[in-house]
Amino acid sequence: MFSNLKVWQKLSLVGALLSVPIITLVYLFIQSQNKQIATTTNERDGLEYVTAVRSLLEQVPQHSGVVNGILNGDTSLRAQLPAIESRIDASIASVDAVNSKYGDRFGTNDVWTRWKGQWRDLQQKSTQMTSKESFDTHDRLMTEVIGLVQMAGDKSDLVLDAELDTFYLADTLLSRLPWASAYVGQLRGLGTGIAAKGKLTQEDHARLMFLVTQIQGSVQSLDRSVKSAVRYNPGLEAKLGALSANAVTASDNYLTLANSELIRSGVNIDAPKFYSAGTNTIDSLFRLYEAAAKVEGEMLAARVDRLNSDKTTQLSFAMIVLLLAATAVYIISRGITVQVDAIGKLFHQIGIGNYQARVEVKSSDELGGMARSLNSMLDNTLALIQSRDERDNIQQSIMKLLEEVAGVASGDLTKEAEVTADVTGAIADSFNYMIAELRQLISSVQKTTADVTQSAQRVQATTEELARGSESQSTQILQASAAIQDMTQSIQQVSETATTAAGVAEQALTSARLGANSVNKTIEGMNQIRGQVQETAKRIKRLGESSQEIGEIVQLIGDIADRTSILALNASIQAAMAGEAGKGFAVVAEEVEGLAERAAESTKRITTLIKSVQSDTNEAISAMEETTREVVGGSQLANEAGQKLMELERVSQKIADLVQSISRAAQQQASGSENVSRNVTNISQVTLETARGVRDSAGSIRRLAALASELNHSVSRFRLPEGAEQPVGN
């Protein structure tokens, strides 16, 4: 398809292809510029948000200082409270306006809504809480305001600015100055309250020391951040250097005042004076804040303008390059097509027979050189065009030459062409030379074919003899292979039988092992029974001994009953002797005597039962001892059976090992016999193939002899001059 295009179309296509990288690079550059412009614009939006929140960073600490002074007894500060709250409300309105524009993008809506609610609660009860509650609540509000500033800086990528001067300025605005002003504000509020109440508690002292340390660190960090921005952009020194130094000096002076008038020598300053000094320090910090925010905004705006200018410049440059490329393509295409059209017209004139036509040279480049060469070629070619008489003479010479060499086509090599001085003379001379060479070739071929025929006949006889010998050898090898295969089958049967025997021996060994295990378990069970029987016998003996002890106790009870009966009799006698006064005691004596008689009867029955138990216990002990002796005997028999089974297991193991050895040897013999059988079979196949090859060779040699005869017959039709070599045989 490309070859069908015209020259100007091809050049236009090439120009378009060459412009693709330029267009791509321009597109990528513009995309990069647009991305940087969008990022910088986003940073400007974030700076706008941060600048709107700036007044809260100033007014909330003021509110904290005034409220703490009021809560600690300084009523002179109460007049300032409405003005501060009014300014905070105005600041809230400003932040509401900017948050409505960027709150969704920066994700600050929830934080800002929560902060406003907390401020309303604080505003309603600011003078009704304790000093500590007021301080902590203002501290939380200030922390959330700083968090709001940092959230806007994070979401707007202001903290990730690619240029170091604006990066450090953003760091100053988002982190260093807010925290420094917050800590100074907390010190102002806490110190104002301490000065108002006129005493310093241990807790207040700890808070003051903490705030002094935090202010020192944050102010030093602020100074380093501003100096870093100036180091990367020396032009910022004139705009920020003096303000930064003033802020640092004011902070140091305020810390000195706090140390000397509150911390070291007790409370030696009144609340309004300390509050005013803190306000001056915060004012110096926010003058630096305003200047830094203004410089940051100017630098971001200048960056956007620069990026837009670079984008416009790059687009203009790309358009100029493309326009120049299109112009160059047109000029080159025009220069080529004019000369090519002139050459095309020349070829058209030559096609219609106008050999006098010449091309007009319209350029001095390669195409112009081609046009001049065409004109020179036409001038030279015109002189070479033949006339009609010359063509007739050449045609007669060619016909004569054809008549002279016509006999060669039928195999007559005795003829030669006449060499003349005309155009065909050189052809006739070359033809005669070819005839001479062909004579020698034909003579050599005839002699060679005769020799090949004789050699082929001798080789044919030899190969036929080899073929018969190979067939006989192949038959003998096949017989040997059949015998080896029979032997291999026998060995395989032996191997299979040995393998079966090995399996049976293995089963016997397994059975012997299982029997030995069963006997061992039986022995273990009998040993356990033996131990249990012995333990039972011991318990029965202890039972007999206990029954004897019970008998002794029963005998003692019987004696006690007899003694009780005697005592009851004596008591009855004494009661009878006492007369009427002893009748009641006599009744008791009778009851005691009756109990003694019943105890004596029970003792006799218990004695009888104990004797029966002792008799049964003695019989059980004798039976248990007899059972123990039988268990010991059975255990000995089981041990002997286990030893016999272990011997049977060792013998079975030896038999299994021997059978496995026999099986492996048989398998190896079977494998070796199979290899021998395969080798013999392979030899037989090779021998058969050799025989077939020899037969094929014999056939090929016969065909070779036939071909040699045919070749001799083919060249015999050529006639050679007298005296040339003739073939030896046919």
Average pLDDT over residues 253-276: 88
Q: Mapping DSSP to helix (H, G, I), strand (E, B) and coil, where does residue 412 land?
A: strand
- Nearest CA among 724, 696, 641 for reference residue 446: 724
388-391 contacts, C-beta under 8 A, 24 or more apart: none
* Residue 27 lies inside a defined structural domain of this protein: yes
Q: What is the CATH number of the domain that holds 683?
A: 1.10.287.950
Q: Which domain holds residue 686?
A: 441-715
Contact 474, 687 (CB under 8 A): yes
Query: Is residue 564 in some structural domain?
Result: yes
Quick one: which of 412, 417, 422 has its CA closest to 432?
417
The band of 219, judged by pLDDT with boundaries at 50, 70 and 90, is very high
How far, in Å, CA of 505 to CA of 511, rounded?
10
Overall average pLDDT of the 242-251 stretch: 94
The DSSP symbol for 419 reads: P
Please tell me whether residues 449 and 313 are part of one structural domain: no
- The pLDDT of 443-470, averaged and rounded, is 69
Q: At what angle do helices 131-155 and 177-197 cross, to 10 degrees?
A: 170
Q: Which SS3 state, helix, strand or coil, does residue 721 take? A: coil
Closest CA to 649 of 512, 446, 502, 504: 512
Tokens coding 83: 């003005």
Instruction: Return the DSSP state at 98.
Output: H
Q: 715: which 2 tokens?
A: 């060249």
Helix/strand/coil for 350: helix
Highest mean pLDDT among 312-321, 427-436, 487-496, 603-612: 312-321
At residue 51, what is the residue type? T
Question: How far is the C-alpha of 73 from the C-alpha of 93, rounded, in Å?
Answer: 32
Q: Tell me which DSSP letter residue 608 carries.
A: H
**pLDDT score recorded for residue 729:** 46
Q: Output the six-digit token pair for 73.
A: 């007894």
Asked whether residue 75 falls in the same domain as residue 209, the answer is yes
Statement to judge: residues 571 and 703 lie in one domain: yes
720, pLDDT greater than 70: no
- Provide the 10 A C-beta neighbour count for residue 623: 13
Say what the alpha-carbon torsion angle 717, 722, 728, 730 is, to the nearest 10 degrees: 20
| Helix, strand, coil content of the chain in percent (nearest 5) | 90, 0, 10
Q: How many percent of the chain have pLDDT more than 90?
A: 20
Task: Flag whether 375 is in a domain.
Answer: no
Q: Does 345 reside within a domain?
A: no
In angstroms, the CA 511 to CA 133 distance is 92
Last residue of a domain, one of 262, 293, 322: 322
Amino acid 730: pLDDT: 44
Q: What is the DSSP letter of 383?
A: T
Residue with more model confidence, 199 or 13: 199
Whether the pLDDT of residue 728 is over 50: the answer is: no
Buried b (16+ CB within 10 A) or exposed e, 100-113: eebbeebebeebbe
- According to DSSP, the residues that pair with 412 across neighbouring strands are 719
Assess whether 317 and 449 both reside in one domain.
Answer: no
The set of residues, in sequence order, having a beta carbon less than 8 Å from that of 684 and lying 6+ positions away, is: 474, 477, 478, 481
Closest to 338 (Cα-Cα) out of 350, 330, 327, 328: 330
Question: In the block, which residue shows the tokens 């600490």?
Answer: 61
CA angle, residues 327, 333, 334, in degrees to nearest 5: 90
Q: How many residues does the chain have?
A: 730
The mean per-residue pLDDT over the stretch 506-528 comes to 72
Give the model confidence (pLDDT) of 76-124 as tens digits: 888 888 999 999 999 999 999 999 999 999 999 999 999 999 999 988 8
- Mention every residue, 6+ apart, whose C-beta is less than 8 A from residue 676: 484, 488
Residue 647 burial (CB count, 10 A): 12
Between 149 and 534, where is the model more confident?
149
Same domain, 472 and 601: yes
Which spans in 383-424 are helix H? 388-405
d(CA 443, CA 472) in angstroms, rounded, equals 45
pLDDT tens, residue by residue, 594-641: 777 777 777 777 777 777 777 777 777 777 677 767 766 766 776 776
Residues 47 and 179 in one domain: yes
Please state the rounded mean pLDDT for residues 332-339. 70
- The 10s digit of each residue's pLDDT in 28-69 is 878 888 888 888 899 999 999 999 998 898 888 888 888 888
Confidence of residue 9 (pLDDT cuts 50, 70, 90): low
What's the pLDDT band for 363 if we cut at 50, 70, 90?
confident
Same domain, 480 and 608: yes
- Helix (H/G/I), strand (E/B), else coil: 443: helix
Q: How many angstroms separate the CA atoms of 412 and 701, rounded?
A: 32
> Does residue 422 lie in a domain region?
no
How many beta carbons lie within 10 A of that of residue 121, not counting itself? 11
- Tell me if 165 sits within 8 A of 179, measured CB to CB: no
Give the count of domains, the chain: 2
Alpha carbons within 13 A on the beta-carbon side of 683? 16
Q: Decide which of 255, 287, 322 is a domain's last residue.
A: 322
**Conformation bin of residue 727: beta by default, left when phi > 0, alpha when psi is -120 to 50:** beta
Examine residue 389 and state whether it is found in any structural domain, yes or no: no
Q: Is the residue at 652 inside a domain?
A: yes
Give the pLDDT of residue 593: 73
Mean pLDDT in residue range 485-498: 67
How far, CA to CA in Å, does 98 sit from each of 87, 92, 106, 254, 581? Answer: 17, 10, 11, 34, 122
> What is the average pLDDT value for the chain, to the nearest integer?
77
Average pLDDT score over residue span 471-490: 68
Dihedral (C-alpha) 111, 117, 123, 129: value to the nearest 10 degrees?
-90
Among 204, 215, 209, smallest CA distance to 135 is for 204
- 3-state DSSP of 14-72: HHHHHHHHHHHHHHHHHHHHHHHHHHHHHHHHHHHHHHHHHHHHHHHHHHHHHHHHHHC
* pLDDT (mean) for 496-519: 69
Residue at which a domain ends, from 322, 350, 378: 322
Is the predicted pLDDT of residue 24 greater than 50, yes or no? yes
Query: Quick one: average pLDDT of 568-593?
Result: 70
**Alpha carbon separation from 181 to 61, 224, 353 (Å, rounded):** 8, 16, 103
The pLDDT value recorded for residue 102 is 92
If you average pLDDT over each of 10-24, 258-272, 393-407, 504-518, which comes out highest?
A: 258-272
Task: Look at residue 403 and tell me whether its pLDDT is greater than 70.
Answer: no
Give domain status of residue 421, yes or no.
Answer: no
pLDDT given for residue 421 in this prediction? 64
Q: What is the C-alpha to C-alpha distance for residues 504 and 655, in angstroms, rounded to an integer?
A: 10
Tens of pLDDT, residues 647-693: 766 766 776 676 677 667 667 766 766 676 676 677 667 666 766 76
Residues 447, 318 share a domain: no
Which comes out higher in pLDDT, residue 485 or 260? 260
